[in-house]
Amino acid sequence: MTGKMKWLITPGVLVGLVVLWEAYVVAFNVSPFILPPPGEVWDSLVILLGEPKTYWNMWVTLFETVAGFVIAVILGVFFGGVFGKVRVLEQALNPLIVGLQVMPKVALIPLFIVWFGFGMTSKVVLAAVIAFFPIMTNTILGIKSVDPGHRDVMKCLNAGAWATFRNVELPNALPYILTGMEVGIVLATIGAIVGEYLGGSQGLGYMAVATLNAFDVKAMFAVILILTVLGLVLYFLVVFLRRFVTPWHESVANRK
């Protein structure tokens, strides 16, 4: 399949979905309170994009997501590096790590609100907590997957633990870390939005709840569309980072 054909598939699928959406609404006479037609959603989107408060709420959600994601990356790589190098520590804490992973993070929102209030801080913390685990576990996997022969070479060169980590383990773990970051940025976006749903007074998640409470379903669909575009932009920025940081890895070469 040629490169041009690949780029045409996604827009074609999107156009097809919109056509099916319109056809379904018209054919079955669906109430706009249940599923508004695409044209009305587009009109509501244009109206929302003409209001300054929409951009402020977009900025709030973007800040919460990115701030939580950055915290998750820093802590995830740090603890993943420690647990990956100190196997005894990882084995001892593995049940606790698994237990924290399977814990429903949404249940922590009331606790975070009590601790950090209704402002952006509680959403940033929730986004960081949700995005932390895939980054940490992928970092551990990357550190543990280093070829033992590479470590032996560093020992022969009398390299210390930090030099081995910087020159061998971290480059080997980078593709794994970036995979965790691709998952993490999506989860951070979800965390920020869910936090706004359940305990916020600003942000796109709050806008979605407000439009639903006002029975403005068209505007709610428009907000969901904005959220989708925002999440896609953040995800593809991380994908671009993979291409920039690890152009030599097969995961990048196979995408070209």
C-alpha dihedral sign at 191, 195, 196, 201 = negative
Domain boundary assignment for the chain = 39-253
| 75's tokens | 């802590």
Helices (H), the chain: 3-27, 38-49, 52-85, 87-102, 109-116, 120-144, 148-156, 161-164, 170-199, 204-213, 217-245, 250-253
Class of domain 39-253: mainly alpha
Q: Give pLDDT tens digits along the chain (256 positions).
A: 555 566 677 788 888 898 998 898 888 888 888 888 988 899 999 999 998 999 999 999 999 999 999 999 999 999 988 888 787 887 788 788 787 777 777 777 778 777 887 788 889 999 999 999 999 999 988 888 877 776 667 677 766 666 777 777 777 888 889 999 999 999 999 989 988 887 777 888 889 888 888 888 899 999 999 999 999 999 999 988 888 777 666 655 555 5
Of 177, 169, 196, 193, which is closest to residue 75 (Cα–Cα)?
177
Rg (CA), the chain: 22
**182 vs 242: CA distance, rounded Å:** 9
**206 vs 209: CA distance, rounded Å:** 5
**144 vs 148: CA distance, rounded Å:** 9
Q: Rounded to the nearest 10 degrees, how much is the dihedral formed by the CA atoms of 22, 23, 24, 29?
A: 90
